[in-house]
A and B are shown apart, each in its own frame.
Chain A
């Protein structure tokens, strides 16, 4: 997992393993990132292992950002993450938009 602080805005790249085995550390990472910046961008391109916990964490992140008026932007959903979203019933772009309104490019 890595966080690229060289970019103008704070960007967080999710690690390859976002399954339940590693979700606790991903959770801590996101919480830490939340505490640092007003605007958080999460790069989902590296996610290779995802499951229900990954989806829940992203949904919670989006919900928390929305509630605090600090939009969280999700970028570049990996194929693996998309498949998991699809399996959970979030299949179409419309549904992804509904749950993650601030996603952008490459999703």
Chain B
């Protein structure tokens, strides 16, 4: 196994931090007074800056530093984050991302323009103080205060240097508050053999001679407060030496001009003997806050970053194991050796457990995907001048990581459609008595072995009459044909179908919904539309939990064996003589409901004579039910899905193949395609009967 490229690690970490940053900025647009959001954005920025510098992304570090500086007035609460400011900050975030992911595709001039915008916005209401003034003003002015200052003990977590944080920068920041006596505590430095060179062992004992309040000190350590112990006690009772001579001392050292902007740091020659406070027990109020402690403990729960391809590899191995186990079980069942049977059962149990664990390790909360759409909604809302509230629920719902990756594009399209076509313009909404702000809800929820993802808007709903007219115009249906609304809405998934009167950058070309449907069906899912005129549209995606291994129902048709995904199976019934007599009509009476069925023997051109008692497996996608008639139902089967080769890409009724216990292959039936096939047969039947 090869070690992961550190630069790649940084890119991945940065990617996560960008999501945090973007989320915080977007939330800030909604809740400009939320201090925690500002801090969260700054923490993300700070880590990107630190890590960027560490991994050689100097431009990233430099630009992020400028970004931080420009945004600092927001952090200090001097200005409020307006929507314009948030938009520029988001553009700055995008620029940093490009600098990391594709530096060749951008130019410094773009970065400068963004920074100019950022500076212009943050200095719009009052000019920012010159940098030099900020650097110079606080220390001495505060030193004249009656309060003597603070005694700090800084102990960082060992990993802190690895994430780009630099305690020396923090010490410098601290010294901007006033004269500091910094004493490094070297007790924790180990011998060479025991050392991890990237860990942090140094601690610091600092006396700050400034009348600043505790918040000012907390601000310095804001970004690392969860990764350090900061023990703080007032220095009021200590007779500290006057700070002024220390400044003089440093001046005499002829520190180069470049360093004069840096804070003054000096150390006491014999600090421990001089300072009783140094050994004093921290006061109760100086103890780290319980919340921070809790966070540290939480982090103690080990998590390991694993390359996605390794998880894929692991899943493949488990798949092979499941196949081998199936063969073993079959072999054991055919013999009479009890001990072999017991071992086979034990291995079956372990393989099943390993499969579940592996699949669990691949599960990712769908919230990681939902977060991306907030920016999409924000930008579309701005571009289309349609204020939209974006609400997400069920972010904790977990899906296989491959599913999450595949789901991104379809959801982008659905959300674009919802804003562009679904949500009405302001005037229309006002005329219909609706609030000015539209609403888009993106939700995920577990439903049995499936996950339902819904995109719901409170716009005008689908215009069924227009869809029908367009379908007639395109010759998809005969004029006057009797169709339900649901059937008419299905035309939206037809390639090249669009009812938009104008083509925009976003939609109207009729390319999209068919691709969405195909993508979802390729994931063995289904898509469903429901709409209420004037109240909005809901698109529901039904997805399996994983693409790798499924529970299947093994059936036999003639000599061949096939798998039907168990999640799609509603029930199994015997094909009665009455149903048999209905040959030609192909409808099954299931407790008073007529269900169309497909004879798989005919569909798959099976050889040999059919079994006397034919079985019907009722499958469903969304609200549509279809029966599949087979010769025999063999039973449940853990199905490791293998893709079909490119040579079979035009075979639509199979979604893949699997290997059975005896080493033979079985094809997996594509439920969505079979349902569509059955529906088209029903439609043809309708038309021929009408004729």
Residues in A lying within 8 Å of B, measured CB to CB: 19-21, 23-24, 26-27, 30-31, 34, 51-53, 55-57, 59-61, 63-64, 67, 83-84, 86-92, 94-95, 99
Chain-A contact segment, one of B180-188, B350-358, B507-515: B180-188
Tell me, rounded to whole Å, the shortest Cβ–Cβ distance linking A103 to chain B. 15
Q: How far is the CA of A7 from the CA of B259 in the complex (A)?
A: 36
Asked if B168 and A88 make an inter-chain contact with CB atoms under 8 angstroms apart, the answer reads yes
Chain A residue numbers with a CB within 8 Å of B184 are 55, 88-90
Known contacts A89-B183, A94-B269, A99-B186: does B195 contact A27 (CB below 8 Å)? yes
Asked if A60 and B198 make an inter-chain contact with CB atoms under 8 angstroms apart, the answer reads no
* Sample (7) of A-B pairs whose CB atoms are under 8 Å apart: A56-B202, A59-B202, A63-B189, A64-B193, A87-B168, A89-B182, A89-B184
Would you list which residues of chain B between 143 and 183 have a CB under 8 Å from chain A? 161-162, 166-168, 171-172, 182-183
Residue of A nearest to B160 (CB): A52
Asked if A53 and B198 make an inter-chain contact with CB atoms under 8 angstroms apart, the answer reads yes
Asked if A88 and B202 make an inter-chain contact with CB atoms under 8 angstroms apart, the answer reads yes
The 6 closest A-B pairs by CB, nearest first: A89-B182, A27-B197, A89-B184, A87-B168, A64-B192, A23-B197
Chain B residue numbers with a CB within 8 Å of A53 are 161, 197-198
Chain B, interface size category, equals 20 to 34
Tell me, rounded to whole Å, the shortest Cβ–Cβ distance linking B58 to chain A. 12
Residue of A nearest to B165 (CB): A52
Chain B residue numbers with a CB within 8 Å of A24 are 197-198
Decide if B316 is an interface residue (CB 8 Å cutoff).
Answer: no
Which residue, of B168, B200, B265, has the highest number of chain A Cβ atoms within 10 A? Answer: B168
Q: How far is the CA of A51 from the CA of B56 in the complex (A)?
A: 15
Asked if B191 and A52 make an inter-chain contact with CB atoms under 8 angstroms apart, the answer reads no
Asked if B192 and A34 make an inter-chain contact with CB atoms under 8 angstroms apart, the answer reads yes
Residue of B nearest to A56 (CB): B201
Tell me, rounded to whole Å, the shortest Cβ–Cβ distance linking B676 to chain A. 57
Q: How far is the CA of A88 from the CA of B265 in the complex (A)?
A: 8
Decide if B54 is an interface residue (CB 8 Å cutoff).
Answer: yes
Would you list which residues of chain B between 502 and 526 have a CB under 8 Å from chain A? none
Asked if B267 and A60 make an inter-chain contact with CB atoms under 8 angstroms apart, the answer reads no
Chain B residue numbers with a CB within 8 Å of A95 are 267, 269
Tell me, rounded to whole Å, the shortest Cβ–Cβ distance linking B55 to chain A. 7
Chain B residue numbers with a CB within 8 Å of A83 are 259
Q: How far is the CA of A89 from the CA of B202 in the complex (A)?
A: 11
Known: A24-B197, A60-B195, A64-B191. 4 other contacts (CB 8 A): A23-B197, A31-B193, A92-B266, A92-B267
Q: How far is the CA of A48 from the CA of B135 in the complex (A)?
A: 26
Decide if B204 is an interface residue (CB 8 Å cutoff).
Answer: yes
Known contacts A60-B189, A90-B184: does B161 contact A52 (CB below 8 Å)? yes
Tell me, rounded to whole Å, the shortest Cβ–Cβ distance linking A107 to chain B. 14
Decide if B635 is an interface residue (CB 8 Å cutoff).
Answer: no
Residue of B nearest to A95 (CB): B267
Known contacts A59-B186, A60-B195: does B168 contact A84 (CB below 8 Å)? yes
Known contacts A88-B168, A88-B202: does B195 contact A57 (CB below 8 Å)? yes
Asked if A52 and B168 make an inter-chain contact with CB atoms under 8 angstroms apart, the answer reads yes
Asked if A87 and B267 make an inter-chain contact with CB atoms under 8 angstroms apart, the answer reads no
Chain A residue numbers with a CB within 8 Å of B162 are 20
Q: How far is the CA of A83 from the CA of B265 in the complex (A)?
A: 11
Q: How far is the CA of A20 from the CA of B53 in the complex (A)?
A: 11
Question: Which one of B192, B265, B267 contacts A61 once the chains associate, using CB atoms below 8 Å?
Answer: B192
Would you list which residues of chain B between 55 and 96 have a CB under 8 Å from chain A? 55-56
Asked if B182 and A60 make an inter-chain contact with CB atoms under 8 angstroms apart, the answer reads no
Known contacts A60-B190, A87-B172, A99-B186: does B198 contact A20 (CB below 8 Å)? yes
Chain B residue numbers with a CB within 8 Å of A86 are 265
Residue of B nearest to A30 (CB): B192
Chain B residue numbers with a CB within 8 Å of A34 are 192
Would you list which residues of chain B between 245 and 274 have a CB under 8 Å from chain A? 259, 262, 265-267, 269
Q: How far is the CA of A2 from the CA of B190 in the complex (A)?
A: 25
Q: How far is the CA of A64 from the CA of B194 in the complex (A)?
A: 10
Chain A residue numbers with a CB within 8 Å of B193 are 31, 64
Asked if B166 and A59 make an inter-chain contact with CB atoms under 8 angstroms apart, the answer reads no
Residue of B nearest to A85 (CB): B184
Chain A residue numbers with a CB within 8 Å of B265 are 86-87, 89, 91
Q: How far is the CA of A91 from the CA of B186 in the complex (A)?
A: 15
Q: How far is the CA of A24 from the CA of B184 in the complex (A)?
A: 22
Residue of A nearest to B161 (CB): A20
Asked if A55 and B202 make an inter-chain contact with CB atoms under 8 angstroms apart, the answer reads yes
Q: How far is the CA of A94 from the CA of B182 in the complex (A)?
A: 14
Residue of A nearest to B204 (CB): A89
Q: How far is the CA of A57 from the CA of B162 in the complex (A)?
A: 15
Asked if B167 and A52 make an inter-chain contact with CB atoms under 8 angstroms apart, the answer reads yes
Contact with A along B334-353 (1 / 0, CB 8 A): 00000000000000000000
Chain A residue numbers with a CB within 8 Å of B171 are 87-89
Residue of A nearest to B168 (CB): A87
Q: How far is the CA of A59 from the CA of B202 in the complex (A)?
A: 10
Known contacts A56-B202, A88-B171, A95-B267: does B186 contact A26 (CB below 8 Å)? no
Residue of B nearest to A66 (CB): B191
Tell me, rounded to whole Å, the shortest Cβ–Cβ distance linking B656 to chain A. 46
Chain B residue numbers with a CB within 8 Å of A88 are 168, 171, 182, 184, 202, 204
Asked if A60 and B192 make an inter-chain contact with CB atoms under 8 angstroms apart, the answer reads yes
Q: How far is the CA of A61 from the CA of B182 in the complex (A)?
A: 23
Chain A residue numbers with a CB within 8 Å of B161 are 20, 51-53
